[in-house]
Amino acid sequence: MRKVVLASVGLVALQFLVGFSFYPLMPERMAIHWGLSGEPNGYASRFVGLFLIPVVSAGLFFWTWVLPGLDPSKGIYAFLDDYDLFVLGFLGFMAYLDGLVVVWNLGWRFDILAGLAPVTGAMLYGIGVLMGRSRMNWFVGIRTPWTLSSEEVWERTHEVGGRLFRLCGVLAFAGLLASGWLALLLTVAPALVAGVYLVYFSYSEYQKQIVEPSA
């Protein structure tokens, strides 16, 4: 197995280790969801609170591990190192979320949105880097009928997408300086807008490709 994949396995295992280690210290009902005010508004049993994220992480790891072999185009192998690093980073994001839940339920109090801002920014920036280095495939990236029909459209869309998502990552970091709705808008809204725009951009680029040869 690749070294980065082994590190990903270690991150997932660490989450389970944390769950088992802190199980006796957790309340019977754990806070697992917070509102914009920063106060918890969703609770679960101790078992679910400690092991939901690790189980999801394990499932995601397994899926991302087998994904390159399931891609009929084998396109993921063209940027496999970058893909592996992104998976490791995403599992680090999940481990960080798990850590926030554990720390809060141990009694520490902090602004949950401010705590999420830096890691969300890092994840969005990582998506931008991966987009810029991706090659046409069936599973990873902006997969529209137009990007999957033209390698040129794929490359242009992901070049623009890489820049946009890196910018989204920087804006998400600014959520550290905000609170409430503003913090949420800075961390989530830019990525949603960028995603919708890239669908339109891929369509527009494909239309140009059709019109230009016939002009």
Confidence of residue 114 (pLDDT cuts 50, 70, 90): confident
- The stretch 18-35 carries a mean pLDDT of 93
| % of the chain with per-residue pLDDT over 70 | 96
pLDDT at 139: 95
pLDDT at position 77 over 90: yes
pLDDT at position 2 over 90: no
pLDDT at 154: 97
pLDDT at 7: 93
Question: What are the sequence ranges of the domains in the chain?
Answer: 1-110, 112-215
- The stretch 22-44 carries a mean pLDDT of 90
pLDDT at position 212 over 70: no
pLDDT at position 110 over 60: yes
pLDDT digits (tens, 9 = 90+) for 158-190: 999 999 999 999 998 887 777 667 777 888 889
pLDDT at position 213 over 70: no
Residue 42 β-bridge partners: 33
Structure tokens at 21: 């280690």
State the distance between the two ends of the chain, measured CA to CA, in whole angstroms. Answer: 51
Region class of 107: left (phi > 0), else alpha (psi between -120 and 50), else beta: left
- The stretch 16-34 carries a mean pLDDT of 94
What pTM, to 2 d.p., does this model score?
A: 0.87
CB atoms < 10 A from the CB of 27, how many? 12
pLDDT at 109: 86
Segment among 64-73, 124-133, 151-160, 171-180 with least mean pLDDT: 171-180
Instruction: Tell me the pLDDT of the chain averaged across its residues.
Output: 91
pLDDT at 151: 94
